Amino acid sequence: MGPAPDPLKSVCVFCGSSEAADPSYLRAASELGRALATAGLRLVYGGGGVGLMGATARGAHEAGGKVLGIIPDFLVGRERALDMVETVVVASMHQRKQMMFENADAFVILPGGIGTLEEVVELLSWRRLDLHAKPVVFYNPDGFWTTLFALFQHTVDSLLTPPEFMDSWTSVDRVEDIIPALRGFAPEKPGAAPAVARVT
């Protein structure tokens, strides 16, 4: 009997659309796009051609990967939708997020601003409500998301969120650890045997 089929086929990436983003974040986004393509994983993203969003999509497309962009009609011009990839234009932000969720088996969170935060909080709230159990991985370069994690912990310490909520995601510091983390593997430490992370 052969190996079980890989349940991971499409990965949704939430990230910033600012063109002023740190160049290292833009490089990481492009690298992630290429890694997804190389792994045979379809990228599902917000449909724009700007910032980390555009860098991820171009990286995946240029490496021969499948890409699905989903963008509301009022952002087509502002976020410069990419015509080189499959793009679906929807009527609202709510429809965009719902369609991204439905088309993804897992989620990656790259650095982003208030829009990314809004997507992340809804995604994790749905996890908290047991509406899904899809893997969520944060790319956390130089502790970008650490303050957010501390806020989440504060809500736990204040008895407003159950402690198990803190197991709802995995955080990695290197782009090359993102896909293994989606599949349930902890980042390898130099000289150490690979360990399995709990991804619920």
Calculate mean pLDDT across residues 8-22.
96
Whether the per-residue pLDDT at 107 is higher than 60: the answer is yes
| Domains within the chain, CATH numbers bracketed | 10-182 (3.40.50.450)
- Which pLDDT band holds residue 196 (cuts at 50, 70, 90)? very low
Residues 133-161: pLDDT tens digits? Answer: 999 999 999 999 999 999 999 999 999 99
Whether the per-residue pLDDT at 198 is higher than 60: the answer is no
Q: Please tell me what DSSP assigns to residue 16.
A: -
Q: Report yes or no: 155 and 166 within 8 Å, Cβ to Cβ.
A: no
Provide the pLDDT for residue 189: 52
Residues 50-103: pLDDT tens digits? Answer: 999 999 999 999 999 999 999 999 998 888 888 889 999 999 999 999 999 999
CA distance 78 to 97: 18
- Which pLDDT band holds residue 193 (cuts at 50, 70, 90)? very low
Residues near 30 by Cβ (< 8 Å), separated by ≥ 6? 55, 56, 58, 59
